[in-house]
Amino acid sequence: MAGIGPSSSYNEARHKRQLRGWLTYAFASEVFVIVSLTLFLPICLEQFARDNGYLLPEKTQPCSLASANSTRIASPQEENRCVVKIAWLWIDSASFSLYVYSASVALQALTVISMGNIADHPPHRKRLLLGFAALGSFAAMLFFVIPSSSPVWFLAAPLAICANVGFGASIVALNAYLPFLARGTHEVLVAGALGDDTQLAAEPLLPHDTPSATDSNVLAAKLAHDNALSSATARISGHGIALGYAAGIFMLLLALIPVRALGGSTFALRLAIGLSGVWWAVFSIPAALWLPGASAIEARSQDTDEIGQERETKWSARREIAAAWKRLGGMLRWREVKKLSNTFKYLAAWFLLSDGFSSISSTAMLFGKTSLNMPPSSLIVVGALAPSAGIFGSLVWPIIQRRMGWTNKRVLVILLVLASLVPAYGCLGFLPIFQHSVKFGGLTTPGEMFVLAVYFGFILGAFQGYARAFYAELIPPGEEARWYGLFSITDKSSSFIGPLIVGLIADTTGNIRYAFFFLVFMVWSAVPFLAGVDVERGREDARAYRYGSRSA
């Protein structure tokens, strides 16, 4: 068979080592997201501001002494409201965390755009990934040494920003390896070798203008190769999600021990964040040893990168950053969008789906706290159940896909429909039967939150894996980092829409349950874009894509 030679066993062993490196970094970095970014970091930043803030309206009584002094009279709007002075501005302690997160998202977007060209340059992809991993993990570990009583407590804000930027940028570089690793799996190599043999056998036997059954064999072999590549990409992506979730849950349970023992003190919160940074740094070491270097990527990509030698001789970081911004503007021109219309259709669907799925999670947690009056301990359990079920989902759905013969696109549509049932179930709570006659159903009791957390987590884990795997099929070879950067920006740029509208609905109606109707609509609004993606044409367009060419 073409492509299968005496060195195949060595190449297979090397590929397994490279894959272990990729999975190990997912295992290392996802801990920061689950433990710090979504749980302890926002709470810690608010606590830092509260420990240094003052109560309205006088701005003379420290917030930290509010519980000890209950004689103060304030209006209902101002009661217990804490503000902290940053430079010349007074900022609400709760808003401080939101502002820091917004700044980190904005800087993360600027970073991933700037690094696109550099990360697509094989000698620098791995260096970028490890450099941003070091930045993020070290920033998280510095929370060990900065107490809220320190005169430089406000440095917690840039540390949080650096940690989030480090994570986001390193994940873009990590995702750029996904198509490369999928192409190196055994089943994809075998399918490609069979396709080559079929095509070689057909050429000497047939005139070019004579259709034959052999043409069908070539097309069938090509389809088999594409299906094998699609399946391998989804499986690798799913395993990365599962390992990341497993690590995050383990570290979350470990961090809860000191947090509970120390009564949720600021030190306990700093300790949890610092430990996530230590985990991130330690498990990045095997990833540094095993991830493929420049020579491996260039060897497999040399036929897709026509300007490789030019980039090698003329490479400059400053020039590459400037070129990345220029290239982004060019990529978004209508002429370029038409060349990759299916890729951009999927990005439009992703814009809605990423915000929809994250809004379902955050709205459900807020609904549990405000409408079902669930205590923080129960909400933490709910927060742990979802990623636990996500591990199972990310491993089981590729097995279901393989047995049913489904494409990645079909799996995504099924997951979308199943996810929309969560807010739809919440809408049932408006029915009188669930408000008066029946004491269970329509998300009217805390017990239902635990069941829905498992159900939604089972879907969410698979969705995250398939979302990036499906996108990998639609991006031009050799430009993975640049396009995964756009994938990340699309995700981040939509992240404010869902929470904003949910907040407006809650403020206007006085009942957050009405937001479930909006969430159903938001998830289903992605269906026309996703259904309009022609995967086969998208693959061909991506393979043939040349930036700046006149062909449409």
Task: Name the fold adopted by 332-552.
Answer: Growth Hormone; Chain: A; (1.20.1250)
Nearest to 370 by CA among 519, 520, 515: 515
Residue 206 confidence (pLDDT) above 70: no
At 248-270, the pLDDT tens digits run: 889 888 888 887 788 778 888 89
CB atoms within 10 A of CB 504: 12
Which pLDDT belongs to residue 73? 40
Nearest to 526 by CA among 344, 411, 356: 356
Which pLDDT belongs to residue 68? 46
Q: Which residue spans of the chain are classified as CATH 1.20.1250.20? A: 332-552
Which pLDDT belongs to residue 288? 92
Average pLDDT over residues 380-407: 87
Residue 334 confidence (pLDDT) above 50: yes
Average pLDDT, the chain: 81
The whole-angstrom separation of Cα 62 and Cα 199 is 77
Rounded to a whole number, what is the largest CA-CA distance in the chain? 96
Amino acid letter, 237: S
Confidence of residue 195 (pLDDT cuts 50, 70, 90): low
Residue 74 confidence (pLDDT) above 50: no
The whole-angstrom separation of Cα 153 and Cα 536 is 54
Name which residue leads in pLDDT, 96 or 2: 96
Total residues found in the chain within this entry? 552
Strand order in the sheet with 82-86: 54-55, 82-86, 89-92
CA 281-285-291 angle, to 5 degrees, is 125
Question: Which of 199-208, 358-367, 461-470 has the weakest average pLDDT?
Answer: 199-208
CA 499-441-429 angle, to 5 degrees, is 50
On whether the CB atoms of residues 228 and 191 are closer than 8 A, the answer is: yes
Average pLDDT over residues 137-161: 92
Residue 79 confidence (pLDDT) above 60: no
329 CB burial (10 A radius; 0-12, 13-18, 19+): exposed
Residue 295 confidence (pLDDT) above 70: no
DSSP 65: G
Nearest to 37 by CA among 105, 94, 130, 92: 105
Name which residue leads in pLDDT, 196 or 547: 547
Sequence-ordered list of residues with C-beta below 8 angstroms from that of 548, at least 6 positions apart, any chain: 330
Which pLDDT belongs to residue 306? 42
The whole-angstrom separation of Cα 5 and Cα 11 is 10
Helix, strand and coil in the chain, % to nearest 5 = 75, 0, 20
Nearest to 357 by CA among 442, 257, 458, 483: 458
Sequence-ordered list of residues with C-beta below 8 angstroms from that of 94, at least 6 positions apart, any chain: 46
Which pLDDT belongs to residue 165? 93
Name which residue leads in pLDDT, 493 or 159: 159
On whether the CB atoms of residues 479 and 496 are closer than 8 A, the answer is: no
- DSSP string across 233-262: HHHHHHHHHHHHHHHHHHHHHHHHHHHHHT
Sequence-ordered list of residues with C-beta below 8 angstroms from that of 391, at least 6 positions apart, any chain: 241, 242, 245, 246, 249, 461
Name which residue leads in pLDDT, 46 or 421: 421
Tokens 């099929």 map to which residue? 473
Which pLDDT belongs to residue 367? 80
Q: Tell me the CATH number for domain 10-64+81-183+253-305+314-331.
A: 1.20.1250
Which pLDDT belongs to residue 437? 60
On whether the CB atoms of residues 227 and 405 are closer than 8 A, the answer is: no
Residue 210 confidence (pLDDT) above 90: no
The whole-angstrom separation of Cα 8 and Cα 26 is 27
Question: Which of 67-71, 81-85, 354-358, 482-486 has the weakest average pLDDT?
Answer: 67-71
Question: Which of 45-59, 103-117, 198-212, 316-330 has the weakest average pLDDT?
Answer: 198-212
Alpha helices in 262-340 (DSSP H): 266-290, 294-301, 308-314, 317-331, 334-339
Tokens 């550099």 map to which residue? 118
Which pLDDT belongs to residue 304? 44
Which three-class secondary structure state does DSSP give residue 525?
coil
At 42-72, the pLDDT tens digits run: 888 888 888 888 887 777 788 877 644 444 4
Nearest to 26 by CA among 290, 270, 228: 290
Nearest to 56 by CA among 36, 80, 21, 33: 80
Say what angle helices 341-370 and 515-524 make with each other, to 10 degrees: 160
The whole-angstrom separation of Cα 48 and Cα 266 is 7
- The partner residues of 91 in beta bridges, in order of sequence, read 84
Which three-class secondary structure state does DSSP give residue 438?
coil
Which pLDDT belongs to residue 424? 92
Nearest to 225 by CA among 199, 190, 198: 190
Tokens 């926002």 map to which residue? 42
Structure tokens at 444: 């009217």
For the chain, what is the total number of helices (H) and then of strands (E)?
Answer: 24, 3
Structure tokens at 127: 């260096």
